[in-house]
Amino acid sequence: MQSSRSSIIRWLSGRRTSLSKKLIDYFIRGYLFYYSRLLRLESNKEIFRKTWIAIDGNKFINASVAYCQHPFQLSNREYNLLVLLKRMHKAGIFYIPELLFPEDEGFKALIEREAPFLVASVHNGFAFTSRVISEAGRNVVTIAANPEQVRRTTFKRSGVTAEIRMIERNIYCMAQLHEAVKEGMVVCCDIDFQTGNVATLQYVSPVLFKFAKNNHLSIIFAKYEITDAGLVRVLFHESDHTQEPDEIAGQFIKYVNSSRTRKRILTVEKFNIAT
Amino acid sequence: MNDSAIEQKLLEIFSEFSAENTKVVIDLDTRIDAIKLDSLDVLDLQMRIDNELKVNIPVDKFSRCEDIRAIRDAIKSL
C-alpha cells in the first residue's frame, strides 16, 4: 500500500516536472517567434534582451521553474538563461551572454599575480569563470569528465574563445594539473558532483582544496548573478587557505548559497572514484 | 642508480602506498590499478618516485604504465 502510494507520488512528480518544462519551453519559443519573426528584430542581442525581459516577468514561467528538477539545482534565472540560450542556438539565433567583469581592485590584483591560483565554482551549464579569467589574459586549465563535450557545448554557449587546457577526469588528472600549475596556469573547476543514486549534484569535493593547499595556491570562490537585463555578473571571493580542506569546502557552500533565495542542497564529500 | 636499486626503491615506495590503501602484496607485476589510488595519491606517488630516484617522468608516460615493471622500464628509458 505504502509503496504503491509512493510510486503514484513519484509518477505525479515526474509528470509535473515534464509539464512544467514543456510549458516553459512553449513560452520561450513563443516569445522568440514573436520577436524574431513577427517583430523582425534584426539584432540577436535585442531578441535576447526582449525575450529575457518577457520571460523574467512571466509569473507562469517563474512558478513552473520551481517544479523543474535540474541536476544543477539552478535558480529561476539560471534555469531560464540556460533554456533560453539553448533554444536560441537551436533556432540559429546565436547569442553569447554579456558579462559584467568584476571592477574591484581585488580582482585586478588577483589577475596580475604571476602565481597560479584555483577558482572553484559549481556546475550551472556555463563556464563563465574560465571565460573571465582567460579574457583577462591568464592561461586556464580545467578538469572535465568529457572534455570534448564541454568544449562543444558549455564553452560555446558561454562564449569561451581562448584555448583552455582540458584534462580528462581520471586518476592521473591531479598529476596533469600539477604540471599545468607549474607552468603558471590558473585552475578553474566546478567542484560539485553526484553519485549514482541521486538526481542532483549534491556533494562538494574538498580534493581540489587539498591540492591547492599542498601546492600553495590561493583559493578563489566564484559564482554569478544575472541582472534584470539578462547580463551576467561574475563574483569572486578569496578564501582563507590556511583552513583544512573540509572547512574550506564548508565555507564554499556557504558562499554559493549566500544571497540565493533557492539554496542549493550541498554537503562536503570526497569524490573517491577518480578525483 | 643501477637496475636492481631502481627496482628495490620502486617496490619500497609502492609497498608504502599499498599498505595505506589495500595491503596488496607488491612485486614487479603488480598492476597500478590494484592499489586503488585516487588522483591525489597518484600525484604523491609520482612526486615521490621523481624525488627519490632523481628522475622526471612525464605524466603522459607515467599514465601509460600498467604495472610497476612498466614504470621501471620507463625510468630506464629516460
**A114 touches A184 (CB < 8 A):** yes
Q: What are phi and psi of A104, to 5 degrees?
A: -75, 160
How many CA atoms does the CB half-sphere of A49 hold within 13 Å? Answer: 9
Interface residue A174 vs chain B (CB under 8 A): yes
Interface residue A207 vs chain B (CB under 8 A): yes
| Residue A274 confidence (pLDDT) | 45
Helix, strand or coil, per DSSP, at residue A117: strand
Rounded Cα gap, residues B51 and B45, in angstroms:
10
Q: Residue A175 and residue B38: Cβ atoms within 8 Å? A: no
DSSP string of B20-78, one letter each residue? HHT-PPP-TT-BGGGG---HHHHHHHHHHHHHHHT----HHHHHT--BHHHHHHHHHT-
Q: Scan residues 12-41 of B and list those with Cβ closer than 8 Å to A.
A: 33, 37-41
Give A175's contacts in chain B (Cβ within 8 Å). Answer: 39, 42-43, 46, 59, 62-63
Asked casually if ipTM beats, i.e. exceeds, 0.95, the reply is no
Residue indicated by cell numbers 542581442: A45
pLDDT in tens, chain A (275 residues): 667 888 888 788 778 888 889 999 999 999 999 999 899 888 999 999 999 999 999 999 989 888 887 889 999 999 999 999 999 999 999 999 999 988 778 888 888 988 999 999 999 999 999 999 999 999 999 999 999 999 999 999 999 999 999 999 999 999 999 999 999 999 999 999 988 777 789 999 999 999 999 999 999 999 999 999 999 999 999 998 789 999 999 999 999 999 777 789 999 988 765 44
CA distances from A103 to A29, A70, A136, A236 (A): 35, 32, 12, 11
Q: Residue A175 and residue B43: Cβ atoms within 8 Å? A: yes
Q: Residue B39 and residue A275: Cβ atoms within 8 Å? A: yes
Q: Which of B50, B30, B21, A212 lies closest to B62, judged by CA? A: B50
Kindly state the cell numbers that stand for A252: 564554499
Rounded Cα gap, residues A190 and A143, in angstroms:
8
Q: Which of A57, A32, A62 lies closest to A47, judged by CA? A: A32
- How far is residue B5 CA from its own chain's centroid? 13
Q: Which residues contact A174 (CB under 8 A, 6 or more apart)?
A: A207, A211, A275, B39, B40, B42, B43
Residue type, B59: V
Q: Which of B76, B75, B38, B37 lies closest to B57, judged by CA? A: B75
Q: Residue A171 and residue B46: Cβ atoms within 8 Å? A: no
Interface residue B51 vs chain A (CB under 8 A): no
Rounded Cα gap, residues B26 and A24, in angstroms:
58
Residue indicated by cell numbers 559549481: A122
Q: Which residues contact A258 (CB under 8 A, 6 or more apart)?
A: none
Rounded Cα gap, residues B14 and B32, in angstroms:
9
| Residue A275 confidence (pLDDT) | 44
Beta-strand pair A186-190/A117-121: parallel
**A192 touches A18 (CB < 8 A):** no
Q: Which of A99, A95, A57 lies closest to A76, judged by CA? A: A57
Q: Is the dihedral of CA A105, A114, A157, A163 positive or negative?
A: positive
Residue indicated by cell numbers 556533494: A203
| Residue A1 confidence (pLDDT) | 60
**A111 touches A136 (CB < 8 A):** yes
| Residue A272 confidence (pLDDT) | 65
Q: Which residues of chain B have pLDDT under 70?
A: none
Rounded Cα gap, residues A17 and A11, in angstroms:
10
